[in-house]
Structure 1
């Protein structure tokens, strides 16, 4: 369970990282839009787990690896933005948020189930 402090700090990081990716994301990943879907911060605020979603990307793993390769640079830019709000700049860990893929998969399963013929209920045996 995240504390209010963790949630507030995660919100600050998410907002500032979103601005960084909006301004400079095209340099890292041309023709790809990066969305920060969620940020989770450890209780000591030392590590921020950042969940990303990529739009118009042909290979999410390659996009994620590109972001990870520039993590130090991104952390530095984040630090310059939050230096007045935090004592330390958290270490950034990036992950692909596959929630939308999961939702699509579940939708396909439910569609398949709804198209199958229904089994008639067994008649009750009355004495």
Structure 2
């Protein structure tokens, strides 16, 4: 599963630099698929192809947020999710809406970085 940031976030920013996939963004900041990855374009579930550098709308305007489609729970990089390890208020938690196996997380890591 991916990690999510709850509304208990104090906006300290400790999590953002720890993410090997650049999946964490400050509230209100647009994100890109290419940021921190080798992706140049992405085909979305509806078949739309998006340029990897095209700015995407933020998922939160108030708190740091994680782009679940880029989160691998640090699989292939670290033994545990680094955002959760450094969060001083324990607001980086499992996202119940994104359940993924280790194999799926490993495949996502490969898709983001190695293909």
| Greater fraction strand | 1
User: TM-score, structure 1 length as denominator?
Assistant: 0.26
User: TM-score, structure 2 length as denominator?
Assistant: 0.28
Pair member with larger Rg: 1
| Greater fraction helix | 1
